[in-house]
Amino acid sequence: MWIGLAMAAGLLVGRWLPGVADLLDVITVGSVSLPIAVGLLVMMYPVLAKVRYDEIGHVARDKRTMVLSLVLNWVVGPAVMFALAWIFLPDLPDHRTGLIIVGLARCIAMVIIWNDLACGDREAAAVLVAINSIFQVLAFALLGWFYLDLLPGWLGLSTTGLDVSPWQIAGSVLVFLGIPLAAGYLTRRLGEARMGRVRYETRFLPAIGPWALYGLLFTVVILFALQGESITSQPLDVARIAIPLLVYFALMWGGSMMLARQLGLPYERATSVAFTAAGNNFELAIAVTIAVFGVTSGQALAGVVGPLIEVPILIGLVHVSLWSRRFFTVTAPQGVQ
């Protein structure tokens, strides 16, 4: 309910008070929006402070989880989005390009929240997000060239160039993941050293826990306020972009959960894999499309529609995930019931 209200509030602010959107858009460092960065930091910090970093090693040694996540994120996900973009938007090249870019930007931020709400494995989510961040810096521009230029050329389709610097991607990763991850890690280490693990987890973590929701709501309001006018002024284009996104989230999340179950992963680990595979780094996609194609471009609109669809759909999938626990082997609960 609160997330729905935050989305509506952001859209209304962006539509009725366009000066606010212009002001927020100016508060940037490079291509990074400072209000969004602050919201993500507040959102992710409490969750990353809950991670038991001394238990991460067993996740990294789980080859099934690592291989499955890498294949889903960097082979299956971009290919599925490419196919859906061409199937549903053959006559809208700008929107199609933006949608493909959304598929290339793997999630390194909000997946932490979705995973925690669905009682997923926090340590696994932290490892998978860190791996995605590394691949994002190394592979984003290369995959952009492959899916926008090389592969369409092979198939006799129209091509598009994507000129994006690896340093721009690295900056996004540093802000959206590096800072909250470092803050969460230091808090865990210093907090346990000072008060012990039991007191840290039973007194300190519950005190900072609600800030994850506050940060999420703030981020949603700011994000939709920035692009509220674009979304509300082009409803038909938004609807057409939304259809392949809905199919994408259903295929990626549902397929990931079924594959994880077939491989014998417990519920918590399967949930981390599924949300990591289904989510996208819309902050990066929006920044890239605006920087390369312009703020009023069809590519940027497709990037903006991403969170408009992703946020409510993944919230719904949190409930579906919790319902599906009965079909999995469930390990010890992680505190969020």
295 pLDDT above the threshold of 50: yes
Question: Residue 330 falls within a domain, yes or no?
Answer: no
Listed residue (52, 61, 58) closest to 185, CA to CA: 52
Q: How many domains does the chain have?
A: 1
What are the contacts of 255-263 at 24+ separation with CB within 8 A?
255/72, 255/76, 256/68, 256/72, 257/321, 257/324, 259/68, 259/72, 260/68, 261/327, 261/328, 263/64, 263/68
Question: Residue 19 falls within a domain, yes or no?
Answer: yes
CB 18 within 8 A of CB 229: yes
Q: DSSP states of 99-148 as a string?
A: HHHHHHSB-SSTHHHHHHHTT--HHHHHHHHHHHHHHHHHHHHHHHHIII
Average pLDDT, integer, range 216-234 = 77
Question: Residue 334 falls within a domain, yes or no?
Answer: no
| Tens-place pLDDT, residues 35-91 | 877 887 888 788 788 877 777 777 667 888 989 999 999 999 999 999 999 999 998
Burial 192-204 (b: 16+ CB within 10 A, else e): beeeeeeebbeeb
335 pLDDT above the threshold of 50: no
| Tens-place pLDDT, residues 80-133 | 999 999 999 998 898 999 999 999 988 877 788 899 899 999 888 888 888 887
Which domain does 249 fall in, by range? 2-324
Question: Residue 216 falls within a domain, yes or no?
Answer: yes
- pLDDT score recorded for residue 245: 94
Least confident span in 53-57, 180-184, 239-243, 329-333:
329-333
Question: Residue 333 falls within a domain, yes or no?
Answer: no
The percent of residues in the chain predicted with pLDDT above 70, rounded, is: 87
| Tens-place pLDDT, residues 139-195 | 888 888 899 888 998 998 888 777 666 676 677 677 776 788 888 889 988 998 999
Question: Residue 329 falls within a domain, yes or no?
Answer: no
- pLDDT score recorded for residue 75: 95
Average pLDDT, integer, range 18-46 = 73
Question: Residue 337 falls within a domain, yes or no?
Answer: no
CB 101 within 8 A of CB 289: yes
CB 311 within 8 A of CB 114: no
**Residue type at 232 in one-letter notation:** T
Can you give the CATH number for the domain in which 283 is found? 1.20.1530.20
Question: Residue 146 falls within a domain, yes or no?
Answer: yes
